[in-house]
Amino acid sequence: MAAIDPWAPADPVGEALHFLRMNGAFYCRSELSAPWGLTLPPMPGYLWFHVVSSGRVWLETGAADPALLQHGDLALVPHGEGHALRSEPGVQAPGILELEREQVSERYEILRHGEGGVPTTLICGAVRFDNPAARNLVEILPATIHIEASDSVQLDWMHSILRLMAAEAKELRPGGEAVITRLGDILVIQAIRAWIETDPAARTGWLGALQDRQIGRALSLIHRDPSRAWTVATLADELAMSRSAFAARFTELVDEPAMQYVTRWRMHVALNSLKEQDATVAELAGRLGYRSEAAFARAFKRVIGVPPGAVKRAPETALV
């Protein structure tokens, strides 16, 4: 069961952002000189971020026209899609894994690449989120998010974070990787906040439901206490709504019935617990309100697609 965090924000959207805590897979500082190009491999279940600390970059994904990133800009590729970075469109872009890199630490590398022309410096990372609320949020993000650092406030905070990340990577003090990961959290959260504030698409679907005064409250209750014996009636009572009005509005905004959402949420909490906490099937069945292991296992397989016992045996990427 997901423990209730007393420090989590009171608003449902803030609570979802609160759970955006990343597991870093790969961080790289790239020192590039034109002409240059890089191809980043697909990494399903991961989010790529790129910050241009000097120079400019063309970002090319399969989903949109190339985007020009200028000094101070931040771009997210939230769904792990393979993509290319180039000094100019059309420049050859070998795979980043084919290029020689200096390993600073287990998760932080320096790449020097190019033909000696105009310089560009990037900080890039590939990260993943394990909390179900964070995954829900990332799943509904667009194929790319581009945050332009055209105002001084945006540029200042981004450069401050990058300076701290670079210092931690260089000095390798105790806890340095944890600090780098948390600073990466801030970069990504700031980008998602900017998208929520400016893009009308952020006011639809699951994220739009979180922003609804009543349904957002219902979602927060489910997220915080998935083991409670929720029914349409108990959720409606919490919101002082009629059962029929609540059921109809929940389905309209979330795009699935309330009890189906409760079950799906419980199973994603269980999946995370099986992978991260070494919980047993019997423990999870009891924690999540199931009367038998068999009933829990049937629900788990229906939602996740594999039996709970297969989670430990499968490679991590197979369950993303």
**Amino acid 108: pLDDT:** 77
Cα distances (Å, whole numbers) of residue 105 to 28, 51, 304 = 10, 20, 35
DSSP string, 43-109: -TT-EEEEEEEES-EEEE-TTSS-EEE-TT-EEEETT---EEEESSTT----BGGGS-EEESSSSEE
- What is the C-alpha to C-alpha distance for residues 100 and 102, in angstroms, rounded to an integer? 7
**Amino acid 154: pLDDT:** 60
- What is the C-alpha to C-alpha distance for residues 219 and 155, in angstroms, rounded to an integer? 35
**Amino acid 147: pLDDT:** 83
Q: What are phi and psi of 243, to 5 degrees?
A: -60, -45
**Amino acid 89: pLDDT:** 93
What residues in the chain have per-residue pLDDT under 70? 1-10, 19-25, 63, 150-155, 158, 166, 169-172, 176-177, 312-320
Check: CB of residue 226 under 8 Å from CB of residue 288.
Answer: yes
**Amino acid 151: pLDDT:** 57
Alpha-helix residue ranges (DSSP H) falling in 200-292: 205-211, 213-224, 232-238, 243-254, 258-276, 281-287
For 116, which DSSP code?
A: S
Contacts of 249 (CB under 8 A, 6+ apart): 212, 214, 215, 241
**Amino acid 198: pLDDT:** 79
**Amino acid 317: pLDDT:** 43
Domain range annotation of the chain: 12-202, 212-319
**Amino acid 320: pLDDT:** 41
- What is the C-alpha to C-alpha distance for residues 201 and 211, in angstroms, rounded to an integer? 12
Check: CB of residue 86 under 8 Å from CB of residue 56.
Answer: no
| pTM of structure | 0.74
Q: Do domains 12-202 and 212-319 have the same CATH topology?
A: no
State whether CATH 2.40.128.30 applies to domain 12-202: no
What is 212-319's CATH number, 1.10.10.60, 3.40.50.2300, 3.40.50.720, 3.20.20.140?
1.10.10.60
For 2, which DSSP code?
A: P
